[in-house]
Amino acid sequence: MEQSAWQSFFQLFISGLAAGSIYALIAVGFAIIYKATSVLNFAQGDLLVLGGYLCFSLMAYLNIPYIFAFLIAIGLLALMGIMIQRSILNRMIGEPIFTVVMITIGLSSVLQGLFGLFWGHEEQKIMTSAADRIIALGGVTLTMAHLIVMGVIAVLFSGFFLFFKHSRMGIAMRCTALDQDTALLMGISVKNVFSLSWAIACVVACVGGVFFGQINYMIPAMGAVGLRAFPAIVLGGLDSIGGAIIGGLTIGVLENLISGYLDVWLGGAGLKEIVPYILLLIVLLIRPYGLFGTKEIIRV
Amino acid sequence: MLEVNNIEVVYNDVKAVLRGISFRVPEGEMVCLLGTNGAGKTTTLKAISAILKSQKGSITKGTIHFSGKRIDNMFAAEIVSLGLIQVPEGRRVFIDLTVYENLRAGAFVVKDRKKLQANYEMVKKYFPILGERQTQIAGYLSGGEQQMLAIGRALMANPEYIMLDEPSLGLAPMLVNLIFEIIEKINEREGTSFLIVEQNASIALSSTSYGYIMENGKIVLDGECKKLSENEDVREFYLGIKDDSTLQSFAEVKHYKRRKRWLS
């Protein structure tokens, strides 16, 4: 079937949204940890891979149905996040942030090595019967996985919004991000807040990883996608969860549109890789704190 | 009863800031802790609230008891849930949050929805302005409103004791009076006990019943506030009144000459 110009635009746009959703998931993980603990977690991408691999193993080796494997993987990753926080990062409270960032880089290398040991370096894919079903909507074709990923992300993010705006723990997390000592004075346990933010970041990473493993495939070095999401988070503002989502979606769509339209003219794929960074540069020139980052409130 | 017994606080393992401080705040009372800059007043409050750790400080000697329990080895969160809360120096409201969210943060230890609502009504009764501004971003409030928010935020936990660190800091005299009036009202009607740390000795001595004066990490004087305000040293060094008739003019008190700046 020949696609019209509009149809091909929508095709690129929607598959861009799906890819962007995964970037958004990674970016939100970054943002949550950064906001609460001011640490940039360079292992975020690898946690994503871990989530994907866990779900894959549960399904392939233990024959657990997809949905349950997904949920168990989420639970395991949340535990993992709390463990990382409790066992490693709690000891680093009061040390320079840079040290903690280096630790996350180390963690990333360790995880990548372990992935290779356990799962080998071949490409693995999470196979589900539903995910690969193709759906045609007015000339635009999509896989079920694309639709599911967008739906889940919409639900997840509206959940986040409500959580941070209205729940007791959500408000406590925002307070801790703003001023730890005062949060302590309110009776907020900063340690629990840190653990919770790592747990949430890991859960988000797991969701991203499983979807990534369905739509694409997994290799141990896939954690580098984390770095692809980096422009997304800086674009949105490092400490803004809403910004991370919009940043992720924007970059996903932009990458797809650019590779769809321009690669033909330039004789190959490649521009896709740099466009996010070009966009990032432009945005940062105009708004140094990102599109939605916190501007400092100054009373005059 | 809040009872501080001979505590010593050391920063970075070397710098002794508190050198054996003891005082008590009986239930339902208002007690003030006066002193100049660097006397250790804020450190005392931080020691009670157990937030010295993030500044590398620690209590090396002495004990702190609150309603019969020893609290100097507890975590900050446990102390708040016992009913002892602090309003930090310089307000420290959560500037990016709305007024209502700030109040919710103060009520972190209150898990019951109904109690939360009741406490909110109580705060609005004492600080009606907070109710009017509940959806505004706290960072854009005026200094006086922020101080009210900081006190209201502490009140949201419905505590038995509130420790106020310099509520008069940076506020106009009229606002200071207003805030102290409200504090007295809270003390009277809710039975909340207050420990007030102040540099503004005149307002603190006039609204509390008992006072301690701190210098260089030690308590140098204590007594009923009435007696304290009659003490000669207190009058000269803290209230700026000298009962010396040899002073003829106000200019002699000052160590510097006034210079006009608004002309020329």
pLDDT in tens, B42-100: 999 999 999 988 778 899 999 999 999 999 999 999 999 999 999 999 989 999 899 99
CB B75, CB B190: distance < 8 Å = no
Q: Measured between alpha carbons, how far is B149 from A129 in angstroms, rounded to an integer?
A: 56
Contact A297 B94 (CB under 8 A): no
Output the average pLDDT for chain A.
85
Q: Please state which of the four CATH numbers 3.40.120.10, 3.40.50.300, 3.40.50.11540, 3.40.1080.10 is assigned to the domain occupying B2-83+159-252.
A: 3.40.50.300
At B114 the pLDDT is 95
Q: Which residues of B touch A168 (CB under 8 A)?
A: 104, 108, 111
Helices and strands per DSSP (H, E), number in chain A: 13, 2
Task: Tally helices (H) and strands (E) across chain B.
Answer: 10, 10
In this prediction, residue B264 carries a pLDDT of 38
Task: Give the minimum alpha-carbon distance from B160 to chain A in angstroms, rounded to a whole number.
Answer: 14
Whether B164 contacts B195, CB under 8 Å: yes
Q: State residue B246's pLDDT score.
A: 58
Q: Test B108 with A187 for CB contact under 8 angstroms.
A: yes
pLDDT value, residue B247: 56
Q: Is the CB of residue A143 less than 8 Å from the CB of residue A135?
A: yes
As a whole number of angstroms, the distance between CA A116 and CA B73 comes to 46
- pLDDT tens-place string over residues B116-154: 999 999 999 999 999 999 999 999 999 999 999 999 999
Contact B54 A183 (CB under 8 A): no
Distance CA B194, CA B160 (A): 9
Mutation for A interface: B96, B151, B162, most A CBs within 10 A: B96
CB contact under 8 A, A184 and B108: no
Average of per-residue pLDDT across A19-44: 86
Q: What is the mean pLDDT of residues B3-10?
A: 94
Is A188 close to B111, i.e. CB distance below 8 A?
no
CA dist., res. A213 & res. A219, Å (int): 9
Distance from CA of A195 to the nearest CA of B (A): 16
3 state DSSP class of A88: helix
**Residue A185 to residue B76, Cβ atoms within 8 A:** yes
Confidence grade of residue A35 (pLDDT, cut at 50, 70, 90): confident
Pairwise CB contact (< 8 Å): B54 & A179 = no
- In sequence order, the 6+-apart residues with CB closer than 8 A to the CB of B122 are B155, B158, B190
Mean pLDDT in residue range A68-92 = 91
C-beta atoms of A294 and B157 within 8 A = no
Say if the Cβ atoms of B140 and A299 lie within 8 Å: yes
Q: Measured between alpha carbons, how far is B179 from B164 in angstroms, rounded to an integer?
A: 11
Q: What residue of B is the nearest CA neighbor of A297?
A: B139
Tokens of B71: 């609290």
Residue A132 makes CB contacts below 8 A (sequence gap 6+) with A143, A144, A145
- Contact residues, chain A, for B53 at CB < 8 Å: 94
pLDDT of residue A268: 66
| Residue B104 to residue A168, Cβ atoms within 8 A | yes
**In A, which residues are within 8 Å of B80 by CB distance?**
185-187
Query: Are B97 and A178 inside 8 Å of each other by CB?
Result: yes
Per-residue pLDDT, B255: 46
Q: Which residues of A touch B54 (CB under 8 A)?
A: 93-94, 180-181, 184
Q: What is the pLDDT of residue B262?
A: 47
The tens digit of pLDDT for each residue in B233-259 reads 788 777 877 666 555 555 555 544 444
Q: What is the ipTM of this complex?
A: 0.87
- The pLDDT of residue B263 is 41
User: Looking at chain B, which residue has its C-alpha nearest residue A293?
Assistant: B96
Q: What is the DSSP letter of A84?
A: I
> Which residue from A168, A174, A297 is facing B139, i.e. has the nearest CB?
A297
Give A-chain residues touching B139 at CB under 8 angstroms. 297, 299
The CA distance from A164 to B114, in Å, is 21
Q: What pLDDT, on the 0 to 100 scale, is given for residue A300?
A: 58
- Rounded average pLDDT over A12-31: 87
Q: Are A231 and A277 in contact (CB under 8 A)?
A: yes
Segments making up each domain of chain B, as ranges? 2-83+159-252
Nearest of A214, A212, A233 to residue A47 by alpha carbon: A212
Nearest CA in chain B to A189: B77
Residue B112 structure tokens: 């019951």
Tell me the mean pLDDT in the region A240-265.
84
| Between B49 and A100, the higher pLDDT residue | B49
Instruction: Mutate one of B101, B102, B140, B141 to test the A interface: name it (highest A CB count within 10 A).
Output: B101
Tokens linked to B99: 């007024």
Nearest by CB to A178, from B96, B106, B109: name it: B96
Residue B211 has pLDDT above 80, yes or no: yes
List, as one string, the DSSP characters of A82-123.
HHIIIIIGGGGTTS-HHHHHHHHHHHHHHHHHHHHHHH-SS-
Judged against a pLDDT cut of 60, whether residue A59 lies above it is answered with: yes
CA distances from A27 to A202, A245, B102, B202 (A): 12, 7, 27, 54
The answer to whether the CB atoms of B101 and A171 lie below 8 A apart is: yes
Report for A139-153, A265-279, B170-184: range of highest mean pLDDT: B170-184
Domain regions of chain A by residue span: 22-223
How far is the C-alpha of B57 from the C-alpha of B9, rounded, in Å?
A: 7
pLDDT tens readout for residues B143-194:
999 999 999 999 999 999 999 999 999 899 999 999 999 999 999 999 999 9
Kind plus residue range of the DSSP H or E element containing B193: strand B193-198
